[in-house]
Amino acid sequence: MLSSLCFIVVLAAAEPPKPAAVPPAASAASAAPAAPAVVAPAPRPVPKPAAKPATKPAAKPAETPAAAAAPQAAAVDPRASAEKEFEFLSDAAARAQSTKEYRASASALDVFADAHPRADFAASALSELAAAQERLKDSTALVTWLRLIYEFPDSPQAKSGRESFLSFASDRLSRRLRPAAADIAQPAPGAGAADRLAALLERLSGPLSEELYGPALDLAARFERRFPSYEGDDRVGLAAARLWESEEDWQSALLAYRRMLALYPASTLRADALWGEGNLLADKLRDYRAAVPVFMELADKHQADARASLALERAGDLLAKKLDEYEPAVGAYDKLVQRYPGTQAARRALREAAKLERGKLGNPEAAAKSLETLADQFPGQPEAPEALYEAAQIYEDDLKDAARAIAEYKKLAEKFPDQRLGRKAASRAAKLQSE
């Protein structure tokens, strides 16, 4: 009995203790049963990050009665706002007394007029602007008056504006320019404001550009911003180029001419732009080599233009006298004579060609032919007997052809028997025949 009890005690002592119950949040490794073989040490459980204490959202401040009752902003009528602004600016201009106040009013009215070109009160805005500029003795007022007259020709403001323009022009412009001012005060007809303003810019690029090129250029820039897709922009571009010339800004003028030619290849004003560019290059920038092809393009592509013969003459003169390229020069002169016989440009070209052919190219035969053509085409010119006598001398001295020299002397004596060279030619022919 005692032995059985001891055996039971021994067994109880040898039996491993039962694992403690694992709570649900405990690691899985600590809850797994022991393997029958050698058990690897269990990894350390990774501690979970401490849970952040929940924060309550801040309580919204109690809505004040004023905020709760605030009404929505009423929609602003742009027209009413602009009209109110004009009333304010007009009143400020009327109250201005010092030069600084006049200048501030004029500046504000200028910005306003540009921002509202088609408003019902736009004509009044331009009238107020011109009056403010006139008070400053600023010639810009003349262009602003004209802008009013051309943009709103049927408005009451245009009628009074025309009178103000003429009065101010008589004070600011020279006597020589006053007829041009009187002429430009009559707006050219046009289907719309853009057409009339483009016509104004064209007219401002004429004689009045001497005095008004600055404000006229400003008007051209405003025009292009306001009418970016205007079909007649080649007119405006050409006018701008001429205005830049009046300001003696040669590079800006050149750029304007080239811009117009590049953007409007089918323009009817291309000959005008080419003529302007060629003369600018030759006379102001002295880039003779660049000027020659411009003149030749005008002459070749616009042969019916009145300046085509002059363009050939200019090209020939530049080649001969500035670039020392004598054969191309004679080529330009010959082309001129063939296309435009009997013109004064052809007369001058024949004389210049003869000089080059005899003096520079060593071609006396061609020189004599040019002189004979000159005498035949212009028998009533004082150069005719001179040309025949020089041709006879070429045959006699340069070509040693007595027979042709005698024939030329006789021709001169018969055509001009009462002139000194005619009598001299008769004497020379008789002497050669007697030798």
Measured at the alpha carbon of residue 36, what is the angle toward residues 34 and 40, in degrees to the nearest 5? 60
Instruction: For residue 325, give Cα distances in angstroms to 85, 162, 314, 368, 369.
Output: 67, 55, 13, 21, 21
**List of residues 6+ apart from 166 with CB closer than 8 A:** 181, 182, 185
Q: Please tell me the number of Cα atoms within 13 Å of 303 on its side-chain side.
A: 7
Cα 350 to Cα 435: distance, rounded to the nearest angstrom: 33
Measured at the alpha carbon of residue 434, what is the angle toward residues 430 and 435, in degrees to the nearest 5? 125
What residue type is 432 in one-letter code?
L
Cα 311 to Cα 28: distance, rounded to the nearest angstrom: 104
Q: Quick check: 151 pLDDT over 50?
A: yes
Q: What is the pLDDT of residues 192-206, one digit of tens each?
A: 999 999 999 999 999
Using an 8 Å Cβ cutoff, are 323 and 282 in contact? Answer: no
Of 115, 184, 124, nearest to 152 (Cα)? 124
Report pLDDT for 78: 63
Q: Helices 288-301 and 308-321 meet at what angle, rounded to 10?
A: 150
Report pLDDT for 194: 94
Give the count of beta carbons closer than 10 Å to the beta carbon of residue 82: 18
pLDDT band at residue 323 using 50, 70 and 90 as cut-offs: very high
Q: Quick check: 121 pLDDT over 80?
A: yes
Cα 434 to Cα 110: distance, rounded to the nearest angstrom: 89
Report pLDDT for 77: 59
Using an 8 Å Cβ cutoff, are 198 and 179 in contact? Answer: no
Q: What is the pLDDT of residues 50-72, one digit of tens each?
A: 444 444 444 444 444 444 444 55
Q: Quick check: 29 pLDDT over 90?
A: no
11-15, 64-68, 308-312, 417-421: which has the minimum mean pLDDT? 11-15
Average pLDDT over residues 310-336: 98
* 287-362: CATH architecture: Alpha Horseshoe (1.25)
pLDDT band at residue 33 using 50, 70 and 90 as cut-offs: very low
Average pLDDT over residues 324-328: 98
Residue range 81-187 forms a domain whose CATH class is mainly alpha
Mean pLDDT score across all residues of the chain:
86
Average pLDDT over residues 380-400: 96
What pTM does this model have? 0.78
Q: Quick check: 432 pLDDT over 90?
A: yes
Q: Is 245 left (phi over 0), alpha (psi -120 to 50) or beta?
A: alpha
**List of residues 6+ apart from 29 with CB closer than 8 A:** 42, 43, 45
Q: Helices 209-226 and 233-246 meet at what angle, rounded to 10?
A: 140
Report pLDDT for 75: 55
Using an 8 Å Cβ cutoff, are 345 and 309 in contact? Answer: yes
Q: 9 or 320: whose pLDDT is higher?
A: 320
Cα 395 to Cα 406: distance, rounded to the nearest angstrom: 9
Average pLDDT over residues 340-366: 97
Q: What is the pLDDT of residues 262-292, one digit of tens each?
A: 999 999 999 999 999 999 999 999 999 999 9
Using an 8 Å Cβ cutoff, are 188 and 199 in contact? Answer: yes
Q: What share of the chain in percent tops pLDDT 70?
A: 81
Report pLDDT for 189: 75
Lookup: tokens for 41: 């040490």
Report pLDDT for 72: 56
Q: 10 or 151: whose pLDDT is higher?
A: 151
Report pLDDT for 71: 52
Report pLDDT for 39: 42
Cα 267 to Cα 274: distance, rounded to the nearest angstrom: 12
What residue type is 184 in one-letter code?
I
Cα 264 to Cα 58: distance, rounded to the nearest angstrom: 69
Q: What share of the chain in percent tops pLDDT 90?
A: 77
Cα 182 to Cα 176: distance, rounded to the nearest angstrom: 11
